[in-house]
Structure 1
Amino acid sequence: MINLDQFTLIVLIFIIAPIVGAIALLILFFFEKQLDLLRMQTRQIELEKEFQKSLYVQLSQQIQPHFMFNTLNVILSLARLRRTEQVVGALEVFSKFLKFKYNTDEPMIRLEEEIRYTGHYLEIQHLRFGERLRLVTDYDENVLDAYIPPFVLQTIVENAFKHGLESKMGPVELTIRCLRSQKQVLLTVIDNGVGLKPISSDEMIQGHGLENIRKRLHIFFGEESSLSLSAGTQGGAVVEVRWPYTQEEILKAH
């Protein structure tokens, strides 16, 4: 025989149970939506990474053929002048460049490697300009292990010759500095070439092909990186590049 208290309890259970079930279903539905949202966000991040990777590869491929074309032009110019020893030397250096190029498929390399690679290009220019070319370098040993996208320094140096030094009569000078500035690396390339046209900074960067470098740096470092091109105080041009001091351990953590 069920008494009044037991009957009341049974009635309450029948009333409360559907409510509890409905609440449980709502909570489950909410978590399912959240999981779907997280999956969608994860997928978007993966797609963005793939897009940035493909964009980076495309930008890198734009640089390498340009350098090879210019280098072959240097060798051809030496051959026309019948400077046989210089041609042989240039070909030897060019072979070192090719070895580096086809062994370098990493998105980031040590700055020390980038400097060594750029040295191959400068050797060719030394053969071309002879005693007319004076090179000044200042590399802070504390930044040589910093990481940078490949072909940044080499492209800037090549650009200095193409737009500034090749058209200048008499002695030419190129200065390369790479220093540590707090948590950033500051790379400066200065030439005493023919100078810049009086146009806006963005137009100069576009005209000198430096936008490629800016885009590649932005892929890795975002707003923490910067590139500027300006006229030198004594003529010529000055390129400054800043990016966060990043070591191998930090890259692996990401």
Structure 2
Amino acid sequence: MLDVEAFSIYIMICVLAPLLGAFTLLFLFVFEKRIDLLEKQKREITLERELQTALYTQLNHEIQPHFFFNTLNSILGLARLDRKAELIHAIESLSKMLKFKYKTNSPYITIEDELAYIQYYLDIQKTRFRDRLHYEVSMDSDSAHAITIPFLIQTLVENAFKHSFEKHVGKAILRIGVTKNQQHVKVTVWNNSHQESDQNSHEGGLGLDNLSKRLKLFFPDSKTSIELNKGFDGTTVLATFPFINQSETQKGETTK
């Protein structure tokens, strides 16, 4: 015979056991749903990153043909003028540019390398414009190993030639400056064209729009900007993006 105390315990167990079982099943159900939700979010994030990478690559490739065609047109101009010695020098500079460009497929480039790359382009334009062209390039030592998107500065420089120097006679002055301001890098490209130019026309606008989109894709969690300003003394384009040292990026890639 069961005493009253044992019987009470038995009744309690009979009542609580189904409840415990129900709570356990409910917990497992909620836990499983949570796992499914996390897996779904992970897949969505992975897919979004893949789409952003694909878009970034596409935008990067859009810039390159535009740049190379303009460079070839500059060289063609030398050939038409029968400036053979300068033509040879321009072709040599183009060869160095191509070698520099295709030695890496990295989605980013350091400021130092970007400016070295631009120097080849400026050599070609100096050969073409001769004494008419004057340019200055300055860079903070702190900015040398900061990373940026490929062809950022190149596109801004190319726009100055295409939309200003090639369309207006007279002295062509270009200034390129790179500075580090707190945790941001500021790239300034100024040219002395104060007349009405079409740097923000359809084609030029596409170039700046391309840069803006690529900056946002490359620095998704930070503020970036491309600003075009025209004044009486010339036209300035300012690009601003976060300062990230190349060593930090390489360290991050190694730990992945």
How does the TM-score come out when normalised to structure 1?
0.93
| Equivalent position of 2:28 in the other structure | 28
Q: Percent identity?
A: 42
Question: Which runs of structure 2 are paired with 1:183-198 in the superposition (5 Å)?
Answer: 183-193=183-193, 195-196=195-196
Q: Residue by residue, what CA displacement relative to the aligned partner does 1:197-232 show, whole Å, maximum 9, x if unpaired?
A: 59xx98789636210000000002245111101103
Which deviates the most, 189-198 or 22-31? 189-198
Task: Determine the C-alpha separation between the residues in 2 that align with 1:94 and 1:61.
Answer: 18
Question: Which runs of structure 2 are paired with 1:75-224 in the superposition (5 Å)?
Answer: 75-193=75-193, 195-196=195-196, 207=205, 209-222=207-220, 223-224=222-223
Query: CA 1:75–1:52 in structure 2 vs 1: closer, same or farther (change >3 Å)?
Result: same
**3-state SS in 1 of match to 2:170:** coil
Q: Residue by residue, what CA displacement relative to the aligned partner does 1:104-145 show, whole Å, maximum 9, x if unpaired?
A: 311111110111111111110000000110001221111111
Task: Determine the C-alpha separation between the residues in 2 that align with 1:163 and 1:208.
Answer: 13
Contact 1:167 1:194 in 2 (8 A): no
Query: CA 1:74–1:203 in structure 2 vs 1: closer, same or farther (change >3 Å)?
Result: closer
Q: Residue by residue, what CA displacement relative to the aligned partner does 1:143-178 show, whole Å, maximum 9, x if unpaired?
A: 111000111001110011000111121211000110
**3-state SS in 2 of match to 1:178:** strand
How does the TM-score come out when normalised to structure 2?
0.92
Task: Determine the C-alpha separation between the residues in 1 that align with 2:123 and 2:129.
Answer: 10
**3-state SS in 2 of match to 1:105:** coil
Structure 2: unaligned runs, 5 residues or longer: none
Query: CA 1:206–1:83 in structure 2 vs 1: closer, same or farther (change >3 Å)?
Result: closer
| Equivalent position of 1:55 in the other structure | 55
Task: Determine the C-alpha separation between the residues in 2 that align with 1:131 and 1:18.
Answer: 93
Equivalenced residues, count: 251
**3-state SS in 1 of match to 2:207:** coil
Q: What letter matches 1:214 in structure 2? A: S
Task: Determine the C-alpha separation between the residues in 2 that align with 1:202 and 1:76.
Answer: 26
Structure 1: unaligned runs, 5 residues or longer: none
RMSD, aligned CA: 1.9
